[in-house]
Amino acid sequence: MSTVHQRVFVCEVRFAQFTESADGYSKKSVKNEAAKCMIDFLLLPPRSSCLSRGGREFETARTSANLWTPTGTFVEFKTKMGSSNIPKRIGIAMIGLGRAGNIHFSNCLANRRVDLRYLVDYDVNKCQALIDVNFLDGTQALSPDQLKIALDDEKVHGVIIATVTSSHEELVVRSLTAGKAVFCEKPLAETYDGTVNCYNLSRKTGCPLFCAFNRRFDPTHCKVRDQVVSGVVGQVQIVKTCSRDAAFPSIEYLKTSPGIFHDSAIHDIDLTMWILGEKPIVVSCFGHAFHKEVAEIDDVDTVAITLKFPSGALALIDLSRHAAYGYDQRLEVFGSKGMMQSKNLSSSAISVSNDKGISDDMLEASFKTRYQDAYKIELDHFLDAVVGGDLKVKEDETLAACRVAQACADSIRSGVPVRLEWT
Ligand SMILES: NC(=O)c1ccc[n+]([C@@H]2O[C@H](COP(=O)([O-])OP(=O)(O)OC[C@H]3O[C@@H](n4cnc5c(N)ncnc54)[C@H](O)[C@@H]3O)[C@@H](O)[C@H]2O)c1
- Predicted TM-score of the model (pTM): 0.82
Instruction: Take atom 29 of ligand 1 and give the residue whose Cα is closest.
Output: 163
Last residue of a domain, one of 184, 212, 240: 212
Q: Does residue 358 share a domain with residue 236? A: yes
Q: Does residue 273 share a domain with residue 363? A: yes
Q: Does residue 169 share a domain with residue 305? A: no
Q: Is the CB of 128 under 6 A from ligand 1?
A: no
- Residue 34 is predicted with a pLDDT of 41
Q: Does residue 226 share a domain with residue 367? A: yes
Q: Does residue 336 share a domain with residue 242? A: yes
Domain of 201, CATH number, reads 3.40.50.720
Report how far residue 274's alpha carbon sits from residue 261's, in angstroms, rounded to the nearest whole number. 17
Among 104, 118, 151, 164, the mutation site with the greatest number of ligand 1 atoms within 8 A of its Cβ is 164
Domain of 263, CATH number, reads 3.30.360.10
Report how far residue 34's alpha carbon sits from residue 32's, in angstroms, rounded to the nearest whole number. 5
Last residue of a domain, one of 85, 120, 154: 85
- Residue 7 is predicted with a pLDDT of 36
User: Is 90 exceeded by the pLDDT of residue 66?
Assistant: no
Last residue of a domain, one of 50, 66, 85: 85
What proportion of the chain, given as a percentage, has pLDDT over 70?
79
Q: Does residue 316 share a domain with residue 292? A: yes
Q: Is the CB of 192 under 6 A from ligand 1?
A: no
Q: Does residue 377 share a domain with residue 243? A: yes
For 119-144, how does the pLDDT look when each residue is reduced to its tens digit (9 = 90+)? 999 999 999 999 999 999 999 999 99
Closest of 398, 402, 381, 334 to residue 107, by C-alpha: 381
With vertex at residue 387, the alpha carbon angle to CA 385 and CA 389, rounded to the nearest 5 degrees, is 40
Q: Is the CB of 385 under 6 A from ligand 1?
A: no
Q: Does residue 202 share a domain with residue 236? A: no
Q: Is the CB of 101 under 6 A from ligand 1?
A: yes
User: Is 60 exceeded by the pLDDT of residue 52?
Assistant: no
Q: Is the CB of 159 under 6 A from ligand 1?
A: no
Q: Does residue 379 share a domain with residue 317? A: yes
- Residue 335 is predicted with a pLDDT of 98
User: Is 70 exceeded by the pLDDT of residue 212?
Assistant: yes
Characterize the bridge pairing of strands 10-17 and 236-244.
Answer: unpaired
Q: What is the CA radius of gyration of the chain?
A: 24
Cα of 35 to ligand 1 centre, how many Å?
46
For 139-174, how does the pLDDT look when each residue is reduced to its tens digit (9 = 90+)? 999 999 999 999 999 999 999 999 999 999 999 999
Count: domains in the chain: 3
Q: Which domain holds residue 60?
A: 3-85
Q: Does residue 25 share a domain with residue 63? A: yes
- Residue 137 is predicted with a pLDDT of 95
Q: Does residue 228 share a domain with residue 112? A: no
- Residue 77 is predicted with a pLDDT of 36
Mean pLDDT of all residues belonging to the chain: 85
Q: State the pLDDT confidence band at 60, using cuts at 50, 70 and 90.
A: very low
Report how far residue 255's alpha carbon sits from residue 408's, in angstroms, rounded to the nearest whole number. 19
- Residue 10 is predicted with a pLDDT of 33
Mean pLDDT in residue range 178-188? 97
Cα of 168 to ligand 1 centre, how many Å?
9
Q: Is the CB of 406 under 6 A from ligand 1?
A: no
Q: Does residue 220 share a domain with residue 359? A: yes
